[in-house]
Amino acid sequence: DTGVSQNPRHKITKRGQNVTFRCDPISEHNRLYWYRQTLGQGPEFLTYFQNEAQLEKSRLLSDRFSAERPKGSFSTLEIQRTEQGDSAMYLCASSKSDSSFITGLAPSEQFFGPGTRLTVL
Amino acid sequence: AQSVTQLDSQVPVFEEAPVELRCNYSSSVSVYLFWYVQYPNQGLQLLLKYLSGSTLVESINGFEAEFNKSQTSFHLRKPSVHISDTAEYFCAVTTTPQLTFGKGTLLTVNP
């Protein structure tokens, strides 16, 4: 399977604990994105990487959240001191960089993983 | 800033009936538009996209969407739906690498 994979698929934790999620993108994709989806809402952007560089972070990404992408391959998203409001589906997506498109400007398709569902008790 | 409004949270229809899922966007600059579909217990999949050129775009499974700049809309249509089309559909817009999604429309196709 050459799609985007995420682990674990489900995580239940107690309030105050730290959790870490992993995303493995499609191998030739140099962009990696994290989104969060809560019940009844569409996915909301959290952050994205171009290779190993974290280029943008949403205001949704509080100080308790940190994301890394060492060596520009897989990525981890850590939430420290979890709160009940952190309960959500965390989605990872990957894409080629836009410069690979023939038009030079149009965005490349983002391919999404199955998500990690976090429940904070 | 950009935003997406999906006007219907749920759309129930009978099999073989036509369906339209509505999407309006707001942006101060030119945008690229997408429809994603999420089948039960699966990840998001790209259904179709408008980048430039013809304002009518089609998917391989019979859906189509029309970009209307004056109405700032990108409604999704299918002339005859199947049970297997039951899923949640998300409209999304982008001018930057990240996508801005609407809240989604749950399409339920009943026999």
User: Which residues are within 8 A (CB) of A103 and not within 5 positions of it... i.e. 6 or more apart?
Assistant: B51, B52
The answer to whether residue A98 neighbours chain B at the CB level (below 8 Å) is: yes
Interfacial A residues in 38-97 facing B (CB < 8 Å): 40-45, 48, 55-56, 58, 91, 93, 95
Q: How much is the pLDDT for B53?
A: 81
pLDDT digit string, tens, across residues A70-115:
988 999 999 999 999 999 999 999 998 765 444 445 678 899 999 9
Q: How much is the pLDDT for A102?
A: 44
Nearest to A40 among B97, B101, B103 (CB): B103
Cβ of A109 within 8 Å of Cβ of B49? The answer is yes
The answer to whether residue B49 neighbours chain A at the CB level (below 8 Å) is: yes
Q: How much is the pLDDT for A98?
A: 65
For chain B, give the DSSP string. --EEEES-SEEEEETT--EEE-EEEE-SS--EEEEEEE-TTS-EEEEEEE-SS-SEEE-TTS-EEEEETTTTEEEEEESS--GGG-EEEEEEEESSSS-EE---EEEEEE-
CB pairs A-B closer than 8 Å: 60
Q: How much is the pLDDT for B105?
A: 97
Residue with the bigger pLDDT between A23 and A100: it is A23
Mean pLDDT computed over B69-83: 95
Q: How much is the pLDDT for A1?
A: 55
Cβ of A45 within 8 Å of Cβ of B98? The answer is yes
Residue A17 Cα, gap to closest chain B Cα (Å): 27
Query: Nearest CA to A4 among A51, A73, A61?
Result: A73
Cβ of B4 within 8 Å of Cβ of A45? The answer is no
Mean pLDDT for all residues in chain B: 92
Lowest mean pLDDT among A11-25, B14-28, B47-61, B97-111: B47-61
Alpha-carbon span A1 to A22, nearest angstrom? 17
Answer yes or no: are the C-beta atoms of A35 and A41 closer than 8 Å: no
Between the CA of residue A90 and those of A3, A38, B19, B100, what are the distances in Å? 16, 9, 30, 15
Residues of chain B neighbouring A48 (CB-CB closer than 8 A): 97-98
